[in-house]
Amino acid sequence: MPPPSLAPPSVRPARDALLRWFARHARDFPWRHDRTPYRVLVAEAMLQQTRAETVVPYFERWMRALPDLHALARAGPDTVLRLWEGLGYYRRAHALRRAAQEVVHERGGRFPDQEAELRTLPGVGPYTAAAVAAFAFGRAAIAIDGNVRRVGARLLADPAPRDADLRAHLAPLLPARAPGRTTEALIELGATVCRPTSPRCDLCPLASVCSGRMYGRPEAFPAAGRRSPPRTRRRYAALHLNGDRLWLIRRPEGGLLAGLWGPPQQEEPPPGRFLPEVAHRYSHFALRLTPVVATPGAPPPPPPDGGDGAWCDPATVAELPLSTVDRKVVALARDAGLLTVLPSRP
Ligand code: SF4
């Protein structure tokens, strides 16, 4: 029997089944209401590498503070980073702010509505451009994230499909009316039914056109890449205290924690009192960070590249944007009785 395909006449029933399934089973997220390009852009930036359920409170807090493009364009970098704090990949927050400034100041507030033009905005790659074009402007664009790549690879039974092939193969699924909903339905299908392991083919609206399922081994697609274990980096965070104030520096723009504040870090253990280690997993390395309380009176290191550094009281520490790891380091110092209890996060 030949493998199923998305050619006529099978494509139309599959397309209808997918849209019916989405209408019934789509999860309700705040970014699925009031789909302005701004809200879609913010949501898609937050959703990269982060589970949708985790993003919900961040998205709602962001929209309360910065409800539209103009508010974001006016916001300072610390405000933006504070709202992003905990989501990681902080360069995305900087890029969002630059994109808002570009649309407001250089494009007269007009948001691009085509994929190609959207891709010229700071931080907007092929996936985000297609998502904004489809969800906010209803364009027939296929946004290929990990979910759609997996669904497409299984439909095609292709262990390593190129994105261009996936777009060509999935294009017939897009109806002339409201094609954006199909794009979103594919993402949702990958997130909830066509899961990386144990796909629920029995519940899948595309089962009748799926080659991977027909071959009886959908999980073989796409082929798993060889993953080397992440490197471990050991570092030390120097806690310099002056009464109840803590020395913090602002991390350089362009680095891993661009623009965030935190205690200075170094590779070599400094003299002082060691606190319990903090472990954190970044996408490409594992960090084991030991906070060290510096000897009283020892001068703190200057910030790198002539950047900012400041003695910060507890209220300022609570207000400044810090990474998740640095927030844990500060909490350890508080638990050790070195700082007063900090106000809780908003
Ligand atoms: S039939 Fe199974 S493998 Fe194919 S798209 Fe649906 S859930 Fe994925």
Domain boundaries, the chain: 11-220, 231-335
Q: Does 212 sit in the ligand 1 pocket, CB within 6 Å? A: yes
CATH architecture, domain 11-220: Orthogonal Bundle (1.10)
pLDDT classification of 342: cutoffs 50, 70, 90: low
Average pLDDT over residues 19-47: 96
Predicted confidence at residue 256, as pLDDT, reads 77
Assess whether 102 carries a catalytic annotation. no
Closest residue by Cα to atom 5, ligand 1, is: 151
Q: List residues bridging with 62 in a β-sheet.
A: none
Distance, C-alpha 132 to centroid of its chain: 15
In this model, does residue 2 exceed pLDDT 60? no
In this model, does residue 188 exceed pLDDT 70? yes
Average pLDDT over residues 149-165: 94
Closest residue by Cα to atom 4, ligand 1, is: 210
Pocket test for ligand 1, best of 148, 150, 210, 217 (most atoms within 8 A of CB): 210
Q: What is the percent of the chain where pLDDT is above 90?
A: 76
Radius of gyration of the chain (CA): 24
Between the CA of 210 and the centroid of ligand 1 the distance, in Å, is 6
In this model, does residue 5 exceed pLDDT 70? no
Average pLDDT over residues 35-48: 96
Q: List residues bridging with 292 in a β-sheet.
A: 238, 274
Ligand 1 atom with the smallest distance to the CA of 204 is: 6
CATH architecture, domain 231-335: Alpha-Beta Complex (3.90)
Q: What is the percent of the chain where pLDDT is above 70?
A: 95
Average pLDDT over residues 103-121: 96
Predicted confidence at residue 49, as pLDDT, reads 83
Q: Does 204 sit in the ligand 1 pocket, CB within 6 Å? A: yes
**Residue 242 carries which side chain, given as an amino acid letter?**
N
Distance of alpha carbon 160 from alpha carbon 157, whole angstroms: 9
Q: What is the pLDDT of residues 306-317, one digit of tens each?
A: 678 999 998 899
Q: Output the 3-class SS for the chain.
A: CCCCCCCCCCHHHHHHHHHHHHHHHCCCCHHHCCCCHHHHHHHHHHHCCCCHHHHHHHHHHHHHHCCCHHHHHHCCHHHHHHHHCCCCCCHHHHHHHHHHHHHHHHCCCCCCCCHHHHCCCCCCCHHHHHHHHHHHHCCCCCCCCHHHHHHHHHHHCCCCCCHHHHHHHHHHHCCCCCHHHHHHHHHHHHHHCCCCCCCCHHHCCCHHHCHHHHCCCHHHCCCCCCCCCCEEEEEEEEECEECCEEEEEECCCCCCCCCCEECCEECCCCCCEECCCEEEECCCEEEEEEEEECCCCCCCCCCHHHCCEEEECHHHHHHCCECHHHHHHHHHHHHCCCCCCCCCCC
Mean pLDDT estimate for the chain: 91
Average pLDDT over residues 255-270: 89
Distance of alpha carbon 262 from alpha carbon 310, whole angstroms: 10
- Token pair 């200075």 is found at 264
Q: Does 155 sit in the ligand 1 pocket, CB within 6 Å? A: yes
Q: Does 201 sit in the ligand 1 pocket, CB within 6 Å? A: yes
Q: What is the pLDDT of residues 58-94, one digit of tens each?
A: 999 999 999 999 999 999 999 999 999 999 889 999 9
In this model, does residue 330 exceed pLDDT 50? yes
pLDDT classification of 345: cutoffs 50, 70, 90: low
Ligand 1 atom with the smallest distance to the CA of 210 is: 4
What's the token pair of residue 203? Answer: 């519940």
Average pLDDT over residues 291-314: 88
pLDDT classification of 304: cutoffs 50, 70, 90: confident
Q: Does 193 sit in the ligand 1 pocket, CB within 6 Å? A: yes
Average pLDDT over residues 266-270: 91
Average pLDDT over residues 26-37: 96
- Token pair 């759609």 is found at 148
Distance of alpha carbon 203 from alpha carbon 207, whole angstroms: 8
Contact 146, 187 (CB under 8 A): no
Q: How many alpha carbons lie under 13 Å from residue 197 in its C-beta half-sphere?
A: 1
Average pLDDT over residues 165-181: 89
Give φ, ψ of 201 to 5 degrees.
Answer: -60, -25
Of 66, 137, 129, 61, the C-alpha closest to 97 is 66
Predicted confidence at residue 203, as pLDDT, reads 97
Between the CA of 186 and the centroid of ligand 1 the distance, in Å, is 11
Predicted confidence at residue 252, as pLDDT, reads 82
Predicted confidence at residue 346, as pLDDT, reads 47
Distance of alpha carbon 214 from alpha carbon 203, whole angstroms: 15
pLDDT classification of 132: cutoffs 50, 70, 90: very high
Predicted confidence at residue 306, as pLDDT, reads 65
Average pLDDT over residues 197-204: 96
Q: Given this chain, do its domains 11-220 and 231-335 carry the same CATH topology?
A: no
Q: Does 205 sit in the ligand 1 pocket, CB within 6 Å? A: no
Of 149, 145, 142, 188, the C-alpha closest to 167 is 142
In this model, does residue 117 exceed pLDDT 50? yes
Q: What is the pLDDT of residues 50-60, one digit of tens each?
A: 999 999 999 99
In this model, does residue 251 exceed pLDDT 50? yes
Closest residue by Cα to atom 3, ligand 1, is: 218
